[in-house]
Copies of this chain bind each other. A is one copy, B any other.
Amino acid sequence: MDVAELGAWLRLSLTPGIGNAGARQLLAAFGSAQAIFEQDASTLRQLGSDRLADALLTEPATLADQLQATLDWLQGADNRRVVTLGDTGYPPALLDIEDPPSMLYMLGALDPWAPAATNNAAPCIAIVGSRNPTPQGESNARQFARVFGEAGLCVVSGLALGVDGAAHDGALLGGGTTMAVVGTGLDRVYPKQHLALAHRIAQRGLIISEFPLGTPPLTANFPKRNRLISGLSQGTLVVEAALKSGSLITARLAAEQGKEVFAIPGSIHSPLSRGCHALIKQGAKLVESAQDVLEELSLPQLSPALTAEADADGHPADDPLFAAMGYEPVSLDALQARTGLATAELQAHLLALEMAGEVARLQGGLFQRMARG
Flag the segment in A105-113, A188-196, A199-207, A324-332 that touches B.
Answer: A324-332
Chain B residues with CB under 8 A of A337? 363-365
Interface residues in A255-276 (C-beta closer than 8 Å to B):
264-271, 273-274
Cβ contact within 8 Å between B267 and A268: no
Per a CB cutoff under 8 Å, which of B288, B312, B333 touches A277? B288
Tell me if B277 and A265 are in contact (CB < 8 A): yes
Please give the distance in Å from A178's CB to the nearest CB on chain B: 22
Per-residue B-contact encoding for A270-287, CB less than 8 Å = 1, 0 else: 110110010011000111
B140 touches A271 (CB 8 A): no
Query: Whole-angstrom distance from the CB of A281 to the nearest CB of chain B?
Result: 6
Q: Known contacts A267-B267, A268-B289, A288-B277; is A137 also within 8 Å of B326 by CB?
A: yes
Q: CA of A312 to CA of B243 in the docked complex: distance in angstroms?
A: 13
Counting every copy of the chain, the complex holds 2
Q: Which of A134, A274, A313, A326 counts the most chain B CB atoms within 10 A?
A: A326
A333:B334 contact, CB within 8 angstroms: no
For A331, give its contact among B274, B277, B313, B333 (CB under 8 Å): B333
A269 touches B331 (CB 8 A): no
* A303 lies within 8 A of chain B by Cβ: no
Q: Which residue of B lies closest to A329 (CB)?
A: B269
How far, in Å, is A161 (CB) from chain B's closest CB?
Answer: 15
Partner of A266, one of B265, B329, B336: B265
- Chain A positions within 8 Å of B, measured between CB atoms, are 134-137, 140, 264-271, 273-274, 277, 280-281, 285-289, 310, 312-313, 323-324, 326-331, 333-334, 336-338, 363-366, 369, 371
| Given A268-B288, A277-B288, A334-B363, 7 extra CB contacts under 8 A | A135-B324, A265-B280, A266-B327, A266-B328, A273-B327, A280-B286, A337-B363
